[in-house]
């Protein structure tokens, strides 16, 4: 069954993925496509509506992105946001004025709530405005539906053609009731019925995988991360024992993590699981290596080698399962092509694994949707909401060369930190937090004894995209407890410091 679809034409704005997610939150399936998508392709996709995103360009620039103007003759409702509204305006014969000053911030917008777009709204609403140019003359057939003192045409509609333009950003949380503008476009204008539900996605996906794979064999590299775990369980529900998962435990996972992964997949789901314990192999490859990028490369390559060796024992498989998700697809070329996600994000695709086709059951889903599918499938919450963990694992959290002793020290210290963050109820608000074993030794005193031991650094950040982030203001009493427990319970640590740098200029990881 094909879902109702909203096409989102990407003009390069920073909120494009957010628009797609908001549409899906309203139970309508959405896809982000390049702004220059062909008319034939649009017809083929047969969307219920189209949204033009914002973008950094000015419609006056020669090289500004423009879509095929035929799009306005398809009889499909269109909502233009910010740049999208301005493009709609100049294409349909209105006028945009070039401004020198940018208007930015949450602004009270006067709105005409007789417009379908603002059904259920009051007379004013606070929306985020972020623009330089603005529409000063509406195209023929359009009427004004919103304004601010500095932007007389903050909204416009052509009721007959179902074309809408808004200068503000309804997709961001700062816009009050923003989601309702999107919902009104979907339900009042495009007449969607709302057939995108995670529960039906899960059911349909299992069924379609069953039909596609039948009694053939599939292989999946399991990392314990959310994406590969959800992909594996989906496949397992579809083809049962014909799925084999290989879990390469490089020994650089957090305390008890390898066992926890095994417990879930083997005991709870009864998945055909091969756990390869190869800590010694990785440690010997890493012996004496201090350069972070070399560590990453060695781990990535070794991971692939182990996976290949295990896969060879199984022989030819028909399908290789990848946990690619929708942002990977968009970022690697706006749906045109997909870069195949490497296992653990550390290496490439195994060269010597004999498979016929790749299967990517999550390639249409955003991360929050993957999590919902995970919960739906019965994967435990702590795994579904696991904080991101780098593929090279603790190797890039031990500064300098890696030894088994250092690994054990870090595992213990990190486990205490995580336990206390959870005890303080902060685990949901801090997006990533961990301990780092610095290569620094310093003098301390324990009882009457002089000590000369390691310094552990604690790192905790709040971020939405992991590209930028701020250090988390963990209360002093929590930090005090963590510090005191680490120096008392973990041998060879006599000092704990807290990293108070944001990203940028620092990165989240220390290596
Ligand atoms: P940085 O340190 O660059 O990290 O601020 C941003 C996010 O990426 C994760 N990270 C990695 N993930 N392989 C991964 O799979 C890696 O080599 C790697 N390096 C950093 C990091 O944990 C954070 O979430």
CA–CA dist 163, 143 (Å, integer): 11
**Residue 502 Cβ < 6 Å to ligand 1:** no
User: Separation of 508 CA from ligand 1 center, angstroms?
Assistant: 7
In this structure, the residue with its CA closest to atom 9 of ligand 1 is 390
Q: How many Å lie between the centroid of ligand 1 and the Cα of residue 509?
A: 6
- Encoded tokens for 423: 């005890």
Determine the Cα angle at 467 with ends 462 and 470, to 5°: 30
What are the start and end residues of each CATH 3.30.300.10 domain in the chain?
397-498
pLDDT digits (tens, 9 = 90+) for 286-323: 999 999 999 999 999 999 899 989 988 988 899 999 99
pLDDT for 13 equals 86
DSSP string, 478-501: HHHHHHHHHHHHSTTEEEEEE---
Give which of 374, 321, 343 is closest to 209, Cα–Cα. 321
Please tell me the residue having the least CA distance from ligand 1 atom 20: 390
Closest ligand 1 atom to the C-alpha of 388? 24
Across the strands, what pairs with 144? 156
- At 349 the pLDDT is 58
The yes-or-no answer on residue 82 being catalytic is yes
The alpha carbon of 393 and the centre of ligand 1 are apart by a number of angstroms equal to: 10
| CA distances to 303, 383, 511 from 295, in Å | 12, 26, 10
Q: 414 to each of 98, 172, 258, how far by Cα in Å?
A: 54, 35, 15
171 in catalytic set = yes
Q: If you classify domain 198-384 with CATH, what class do you get?
A: alpha beta
pLDDT at 235 (0 to 100): 98
Verify cis geometry, omega within 30 degrees of 0, for the bond prior to 504. yes
Strand partners, 466: none
Stretches in the chain below the pLDDT threshold 50: 334-347
Which residue's structure tokens are 């594996």?
232
CA–centroid distance, 154 to ligand 1, in Å, is 40
CA distance 88 to 80: 7
Please state, in angstroms and rounded to a whole number, the distance separating the CA atoms of residues 118 and 469: 35
Q: Choose among 165, 182, 5, 8: nearest CA to 91.
A: 165
Of all atoms in ligand 1, which is nearest to the CA of residue 346? 13
Ligand 1 proximity of 341 Cβ (cutoff 6 Å): no
Alpha helices (H) along 240-366? 257-262, 279-286, 292-314, 326-331
Q: Is the CB of 436 under 6 A from ligand 1?
A: no
> 107 has which bridge partners?
127
Residue of 131, 169, 250, 344 marked catalytic: 169
CA 506–ligand 1 middle distance (angstroms): 12
Q: How much is the mean pLDDT over the chain?
A: 93
- How much is the pLDDT for 350? 60
Is residue 144 in contact with ligand 1, taking CB distance under 6 Å? Answer: no
> CATH classification of 6-189 is 3.40.50.880, yes or no?
yes
> Best of 389, 390, 432, 472 to mutate for ligand 1, by most ligand atoms within 8 A of CB?
390
pLDDT (0 to 100) of residue 335: 38
Pick the CATH number of 397-498 from 3.40.630.30, 3.40.930.10, 3.30.470.10, 3.30.300.10: 3.30.300.10
* CA separation, residue 287 to residues 251, 290, 338, 346, 402 (Å): 14, 9, 35, 19, 7
Question: Tokens standing for 268?
Answer: 């709870």
On whether the CB atoms of residues 362 and 231 are closer than 8 A, the answer is yes
Compute the residue count for the chain.
511
Task: Give me ligand 1 centre to Cα 501, in Å.
Answer: 16
| Residue in 171, 257, 302, 511 annotated catalytic | 171
505 cis-preceded (ω within 30 degrees of 0)? yes
The whole-number pLDDT of residue 438 equals 98
Query: Global pTM?
Result: 0.84
Residue 275 exposure: Cα atoms within 13 Å on the Cβ side? 16
pLDDT of residue 340: 33
Using CA atoms, how far residue 466 sits from 99, 438, 506, in Å, is 33, 22, 12
| Location of each CATH 3.40.50.880 domain in the chain | 6-189
Element (H, E) at 143: strand 143-148
Domain with CATH 3.40.50.620 in the chain: 198-384
- Residue 335 neighbours by CB under 8 Å, 6+ apart: 31, 32, 33, 34, 329
């Amino acid at each position: 069954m094909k879902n109702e679809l909203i096409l989102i034409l990407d003009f390069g704005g920073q909120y494009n993925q957010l628009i797609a997610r908001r549409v899906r939150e309203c139970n309508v399936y959405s896809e982000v496509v390049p702004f220059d998508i062909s008319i034939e392709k649009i017809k083929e996709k047969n969307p219920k509506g189209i949204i033009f995103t914002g973008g950094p360009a000015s419609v006056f620039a020669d090289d500004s992105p423009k879509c095929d103007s035929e799009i306005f003759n398809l009889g499909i409702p269109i909502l233009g946001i910010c740049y999208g509204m301005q493009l709609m305006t100049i294409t349909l014969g209105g006028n945009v004025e070039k401004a020198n000053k940018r208007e930015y911030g949450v602004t009270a917008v006067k709105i005409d709530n007789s417009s379908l777009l603002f059904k259920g709204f009051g007379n004013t609403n606070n929306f985020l405005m972020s623009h330089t140019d603005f529409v000063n003359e509406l195209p023929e057939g359009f009427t004004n539906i919103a304004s601010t003192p500095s932007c007389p045409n903050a909204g416009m509609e052509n009721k007959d053609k179902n074309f809408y333009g808004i200068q503000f950003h309804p997709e961001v949380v700062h816009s009050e009731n923003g989601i309702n503008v999107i919902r009104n476009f979907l339900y009042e204008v495009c007449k969607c019925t709302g057939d995108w539900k995670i529960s039906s996605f899960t059911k349909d996906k299992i069924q379609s995988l069953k039909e596609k794979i039948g009694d053939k064999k599939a292989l999946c590299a399991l990392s314990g991360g959310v994406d590969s775990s959800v992909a594996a369980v989906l496949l397992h529900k579809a083809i049962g024992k014909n799925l084999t998962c290989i879990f390469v435990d490089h020994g650089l996972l957090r305390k008890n993590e390898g066992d926890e992964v095994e417990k879930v997949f083997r005991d709870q789901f009864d998945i055909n699981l091969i756990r390869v314990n190869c800590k010694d192999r990785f440690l010997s490859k890493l012996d004496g290596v201090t350069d972070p990028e070399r560590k990453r490369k060695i781990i990535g390559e070794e991971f692939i080698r182990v996976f290949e060796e295990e896969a060879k024992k199984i022989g030819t498989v028909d399908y290789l399962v990848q946990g690619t998700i929708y942002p990977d697809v968009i970022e690697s070329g706006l749906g045109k092509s997909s870069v195949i996600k490497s296992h653990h994000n550390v290496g490439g695709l195994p060269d010597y694994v004999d498979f016929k086709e790749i299967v990517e059951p999550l390639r249409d889903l955003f991360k929050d949707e993957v999590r919902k599918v995970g919960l739906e499938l019965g994967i435990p919450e702590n795994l579904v909401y696991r904080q991101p963990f780098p593929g090279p694992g603790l190797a890039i959290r031990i500064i300098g060369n890696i030894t088994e002793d250092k690994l054990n020290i870090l595992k213990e210290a990190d486990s205490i930190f995580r336990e206390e963050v959870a005890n303080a109820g902060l685990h949901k608000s801090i997006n990533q937090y961990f301990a780092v074993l610095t290569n620094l030794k310093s003098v301390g005193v324990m009882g009457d004894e002089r000590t000369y031991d390691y310094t552990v650094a604690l790192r905790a950040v709040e971020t939405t995209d992991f590209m930028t982030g701020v250090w988390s203001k963990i209360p002093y009493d929590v930090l005090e407890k963590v510090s005191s427990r680490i120096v008392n319970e973990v041998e060879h640590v006599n000092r704990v410091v807290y990293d108070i740098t944001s990203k940028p200029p620092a990165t989240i990881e220390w290596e």
